[in-house]
Structure 1
Amino acid sequence: MRVVLPARIGPEELIESNIPLDDDGHQEWDPDKEYDQGERVVLTEEHDGRQPTQRIYRALTSNQGAFPAEHTIDEVGADEAKWQDLGGINRFRAFDEVVGSKSVSDASYDPELYNPEGQEALDQGVAFRFKPGVVTDSLTLLGLEASYLDVVVVNEDGVQYQKRHELQTTIPESDWHAYFFAEPERDQELVLTELPLVSEDMTIEDLPGTLEAEFRISAYNGGAPAKIGNILVGQSYRVGESGFGAEASIVDFSTKERDEFGHFRVRERAFANRAQVPVLIETARIQRVQRFLAQIRSRPAVYIASKELGPTVFGFYKRFRLLYQNAVLSECELTIEGLI
């Protein structure tokens, strides 16, 4: 079990993308304009020293001069709010903390820049170049809708990591009927750990981690729009070894109501992943693990078990319990609830 605290990727860290800032079709907020209820704006530019949020806002009431980011329900309450935060713009949805919102594009990008060396040229879909600016040894991508995902990591010394990942297409049943008629299933997540250590002027092969590296990530979906839900990079912390007996489930926020005639009315809404994972820990490290978990109690993180022993969840732990077993090994029970 590894835990990764994702680095923030904002306008300063994002070098380029093939998704333009105005891809959502909304105008930049204008302090001199009077907005009617329902109008939408974006904040992609600085306004009087206030930094852009790269988010979309909808007017709740007619207003003029009310900076959207400072007049939402979260900031001033429902009675005083003038704007509703609708989430990130398309270009930055892959870097927000909402798994269900995705960056989507079928625009072209430079294959020489984004494709690994020696691979067939792919040049349509979603592409990002960014530099986290912190030590990283792990990359997690969630909510993928693509056929291929290219990952290239470079620094001044050149390419340090490059690989094309085929998002495996599987058929649910292994018979001829399924072969011809079943809908193929693709992997929707990719987890890479122990990337090579890269800094501006050196490469240390025997240590994990990537410092001051540039990431180039592109997703190709056979000509159809490619989608990326989350790109999460950071340095991983090893909690212990995942054990057998992990539980995976979801928390469904849909409503199902029965009327007086017995008919159901179903409103489908989002859901969050949930996992309960037993982890084996060296008893000598148990206090360090407890301190680490206490430090991240209110920070979203990527919890990586393994494909064989448990799921990968981006969210918060809801509960942990440390069980002292003997002088050598102890156990930690982690209950993790994912973000929507």
Structure 2
Amino acid sequence: MSIQTLTVVRPVPVTPAMLISTDVPEADYPAWASGTTYAMGARVIFVASHKVYQSAIDGNLGKNPPTEPTAWKEVGSTNRWRVFDRSVSSQTVQPSSMSFRLRMGQAVTSLAALNLTGATSMRVRLVDPNYGTVYDKTVDLSSVPVAVGWYEWYFGERRTPTQALLMDLPSFPAADVLIDLAGTAELAVGVILLGQLRTFSMGVRMGARVGIQDYSRKERTEFGDVVLVERAFAKRASFSLLLRSEEVDALNAFMAEVRATPCLWIGSSRYESTTVYGFYKSFDIVISYYDYSDSELELEGLT
């Protein structure tokens, strides 16, 4: 018994040239200036790379952040660009709303927003220079009850979706992609990725395993007290697939191509926990029958 065909999206890296406009400012810290002296701990933005750096020395003058690792430590992407880096846990934050207009320069058929906080809706449009608006869909991200029943609907615990997936974008290579997120004062998004989807297998078998790898520190002191330091975590999943014989070589070749490339892996649209943005740790294909083969896939998400 299967859940759903395995869907894989290999993201297209978003470059500064692709970001046509956004209302998220890039003003986390002052821009680095070669003629300014920085004290230890001072933070700056290096505009060319859209990165934040922190001074590791006092009297830091004229030292270029990307080329002087002893003088500057990279902190991460700027708030505007966190949504397009490979980290799921680092979020682009802006109260109430944020928008992005992207010109990918190629056809993209899938879009995903991951690690959403405080989002209530996401609208995605494709606007082609010749055909106008060719796609316009809004995803409702309102909270839903965690259990079924009238009491739970009115009084029970509710959860808010943490991701939005759109796998039906039409193929218009010249179109601009407009993304509008609305939400609360805590609105934040970890990753927005776009790419072409691929599907494999006749289905992900029931018995799929999901979980997380927690990188928090949990230690006991010499007096027996527990020290807990919350850190990032990564999602994990293991899928068993049933392949047609003609898919064996295609899947094997695809896995070789993405061996060092983070992808979006979707085992089932019913369960958010079967969506993993990361890489595969291992996969095996067992040619069990003449027409069908079995495959085992183990995934590990990015933090």
TM-score when normalising by structure 2: 0.91
Cα offset, 1:32, TM superposition: 1.9
Partner Cα distance (1:214, 1:65) in 2:
40
Task: Tell me what 1:154 maps to.
Answer: 127
Choose from 225, 234, 253 the match for 2:195: 234
Partner Cα distance (2:155, 2:90) in 1:
30
Task: Tell me what 1:220 maps to.
Answer: 182
- Residues 1:67 and 2:30 are matched in the alignment: no
One-letter amino acid of the structure 1 residue matched with residue 63 of structure 2? A
Task: Tell me what 1:143 maps to.
Answer: 115
Task: Tell me what 1:47 maps to.
Answer: none
- Residues 1:29 and 2:32 are matched in the alignment: yes
- Residues 1:134 and 2:128 are matched in the alignment: no
Partner Cα distance (1:244, 1:324) in 2:
20
Partner Cα distance (1:3, 1:230) in 2:
16
Partner Cα distance (1:99, 1:160) in 2:
30
Counterparts of 1:5-154 in structure 2, within 5 Å, are 5-22=10-27, 24=28, 26-44=29-47, 52-62=48-58, 63-72=60-69, 81-106=70-95, 124-145=96-117, 146-154=119-127
Aligned length: 293
Cα offset, 1:175, TM superposition: 5.7
Choose from 297, 304, 325 the match for 2:288: 325
Runs of at least 4 residues off by over 6 Å: none
Q: Higher relative contact order by CA 8 Å / sep ≥ 6: 1 or 2? A: 2
Indicate if the aligned counterparts of 1:219 and 1:227 stay in contact, CA closer than 8 A.
no
Partner Cα distance (1:179, 1:291) in 2:
47
Partner Cα distance (2:143, 2:186) in 1:
17
Partner Cα distance (1:334, 1:64) in 2:
51
Cα offset, 1:227, TM superposition: 1.5
Indicate if the aligned counterparts of 1:243 and 1:279 stay in contact, CA closer than 8 A.
yes
Partner Cα distance (1:177, 1:330) in 2:
46
Secondary structure of the equivalent of 1:57? strand
The Cα offsets for residues 126-176 of structure 1, whole Å up to 9 and x where unpaired, read as 111111112211111101121111111111111111011101421224467
Deviates more, 1:145-154 or 1:61-70: 61-70
Partner Cα distance (1:183, 1:29) in 2:
47
One-letter amino acid of the structure 2 residue matched with residue 89 of structure 1? T
One-letter amino acid of the structure 2 residue matched with residue 148 of structure 1? S
Partner Cα distance (1:325, 1:140) in 2:
35
Choose from 162, 167, 176 the match for 1:193: 167
Q: Which runs of 5+ in 2 are unaligned?
A: 1-5
Partner Cα distance (1:7, 1:230) in 2:
13
Secondary structure of the equivalent of 1:284? helix
Choose from 275, 279, 286 the match for 1:312: 275
Indicate if the aligned counterparts of 1:93 and 1:230 stay in contact, CA closer than 8 A.
yes
Partner Cα distance (1:67, 1:305) in 2:
45
One-letter amino acid of the structure 1 residue matched with residue 20 of structure 2? I
Task: Tell me what 1:280 maps to.
Answer: 242
The Cα offsets for residues 264-314 of structure 1, whole Å up to 9 and x where unpaired, read as 111111100011111222112212211110111111111122134761111
Secondary structure of the equivalent of 2:9? strand
TM-score when normalising by structure 1: 0.81
Partner Cα distance (1:155, 1:298) in 2:
33
Q: Percent same amino acid among aligned pairs?
A: 32
